[in-house]
Copies of this chain bind each other. A is one copy, B any other.
Amino acid sequence: MKVTAFGEIMLRLSPDNRDRFMQEKYFRTYFGGSEANTLIALSSLGVDTSFVTKLPENDIADACIRELKGNGVETAFIARGGKRIGIYYCENGASIRGGKVIYDRQFSSISEADKSDFCWNEILKDTDIFHFTGITTALSDELASITLDAVKQAKEKGIIISCDLNYRRTLWSEEKANRVMREFMPYVDILFANTGSALDVFGINGKDDEAVMLKISEEFGIKTIAFTTRECRNADENILGGILLADGRFFSSKKTEVNIVDRVGGGDCFDAGILYGLINKLSPEETVEFANICNAYKHTVRGDYCRLDAEEIKAICSGKADGRIKR
């Protein structure tokens, strides 16, 4: 099985540890973006992947491609050109102090890409799952249109369509998100969201997660929906969970408490975990548990993405979460 994803990958600039912006004179660099993060996680779990985006012709973008390649993600369909790679500055929170993100992603090559940059007929060859998120569609009207085109072509080829709502308030209004994302829903086979994005994008809420998931499923006719839940004690400690609606039933993971090293990209690993379960035909119970631990595990690794070892994740699912040293 091969997963192809479409979206933006950015250069992240972060001070180390719990430092504030510019407290130190160095930024740790990372590359990351929701869709690419999901692919790298899938790749480390043994799934074939290909990332589609547009990046400028410069040394920074070259390094980004080397990092994707090194992580086993195919980069043959990355268009080159345009003005810049998007940047975001990110500082960790600590205790009562929240983390902080400053986006500087406007005018990036991908957000200014046009249809001629991507030949979906070729790109989608051999693909089994096509994955995108609400970030991709928010980058520009053109990109929403390109994505819709890709989704339609994929659907025709019998490719499974996977979408994470991933609402970003700084990119578009709730109104516009609603209008655009509704166009996509008829094609979506697997939807990733949470109560927040469901409300922001579709204006759907309910007495609990399951109620929201049910409404979405009924409204859009989507059979497979996966939600993450997150209870924030403070910037250092969160409690994570996952709920999967599949075959008309709800499956909930155990709640997992994590001490946070880096919380960026947790949801992307959750997506990877669900897709891994589907690809490897885990039961829904196993799948949602696996995905929740993928999410939690990411919180213990610095950076936007993390490599996952299926055996290690399964062992933690089975209760080996005591953190002992493996010699």
A residues engaging B (CB < 8 A)?
13, 17-30, 58-60, 62-63, 66-67, 69-72, 83-84, 87, 89-90, 93-104, 106-107, 168-170, 232-236, 256, 258-261, 263-264, 293, 296-297, 299-303, 306-307, 316, 320-327
Q: Quick check: A59 and B100 within 8 Å, CB to CB?
A: yes
Q: What's the nearest-Cβ distance from chain B to residue A236, in Å?
A: 5
Q: Given contact pairs A23-B302, A101-B326, enumerate 8 new A-B contacts (beta carbons under 8 Å).
A: A20-B307, A25-B28, A27-B29, A67-B70, A94-B300, A96-B293, A168-B327, A263-B325
Q: Of all chain B residues, which has the CB nearest A15?
A: B29
Compute how far the CA of A69 lies from the CA of B301 in the bound complex, rounded to whole angstroms: 22
- A contact patch SS: loop
Compute how far the CA of A259 lies from the CA of B237 in the bound complex, rounded to whole angstroms: 10
Compute how far the CA of A22 lies from the CA of B70 in the bound complex, rounded to whole angstroms: 13
Q: Quick check: B303 and A23 within 8 Å, CB to CB?
A: yes
Contacts of A102 in B (CB 8 A): 58-60
Q: Quick check: B323 and A18 within 8 Å, CB to CB?
A: no
26 contacts between A and B (CB under 8 A): A21-B63, A22-B60, A22-B62, A24-B25, A25-B29, A25-B30, A26-B29, A27-B27, A59-B89, A59-B100, A60-B102, A67-B70, A83-B106, A87-B87, A93-B323, A94-B323, A95-B258, A95-B296, A96-B297, A96-B300, A96-B321, A97-B323, A98-B324, A98-B325, A234-B322, A235-B300
